[in-house]
Amino acid sequence: EKFNYKITFADDLHYFKLFLKPIFKSGIGYDIHQIDSKSKQGLKLCGVRINYNKLIGHSDADVGIHAICDSIFGALSMQDIGYYFSNNSPKWKNKNSEHFLKFAKIKLQEKKYFIANLDINFICEKPNISKYRKKMISKISFILKIPEKIISIKATSNEKIGFIGDGLGIAAESIVQITNEK
């Protein structure tokens, strides 16, 4: 069998052991959407509905899920979310972003990778993310079928500096680590 690893010398054994070790890969994702100040409610972050002004976007503008998707695509050496779900396509108009995350989950399965940990950070003045932290973790855990304890949701304000500080938008960043070992 030509794909068999040939062990002849003592050093070959060393490389064979390296070959058996789990592979860890990391990915980063960032997204930002503008707040629709005219709307009274309709905000959705990490799949959780929040009684606050909604975000402007082609899909449902779930900035949290978009950042998570991009971090998974990055770890899998794929392209960005806009490549797979173009904001020019009517197909994705007002689309529930959970669909995009399910696509990322399928890609992980196809390539035989598992999420080792997922760290999400929101940057906004309002709303108060900590109130929705648990709900968001449980939602993401449910969609990705991963344990809640490997998900972290954090938030920081922009100290009233710049457009985020003026409350004009919400940004999210995500870092994921994936491994080929369960």
Binding region for Zn ion (CB under 5 A): 31, 66
The SS3 of residue 16 is helix
- The nearest distance, CB 99 to Zn ion, in angstroms, is 13
- For the chain, the straight-line distance linking the first and the last C-alpha, in angstroms and rounded, comes to 27
> CA 80 to CA 71: how far, in whole Å?
9
User: Which two structure tokens, joined as six digits, stand for 80?
Assistant: 């960005």
Single-letter amino acid, residue 142: F
Angle made by CA atoms 38, 39, 41, in degrees to the nearest 5: 155
- The nearest distance, CB 161 to Zn ion, in angstroms, is 22
Q: Cβ closer to Zn ion: 66 or 139?
A: 66
Q: Cβ closer to Zn ion: 30 or 114?
A: 30
Q: Cβ closer to Zn ion: 66 or 133?
A: 66
Q: Cβ closer to Zn ion: 150 or 168?
A: 168
Q: Cβ closer to Zn ion: 113 or 121?
A: 121
Torsion of CA 38, 44, 45, 48, to 10 degrees: 140
- The nearest distance, CB 117 to Zn ion, in angstroms, is 22
Q: Are 130 and 155 in contact (CB under 8 A)?
A: yes
Residue number with the shortest CB distance to Zn ion? Answer: 66
- The nearest distance, CB 51 to Zn ion, in angstroms, is 21
Torsion of CA 24, 64, 135, 115, to 10 degrees: -10
- Closest by Cα among 101, 118, 108, 120 to 182: 108
- The nearest distance, CB 171 to Zn ion, in angstroms, is 10
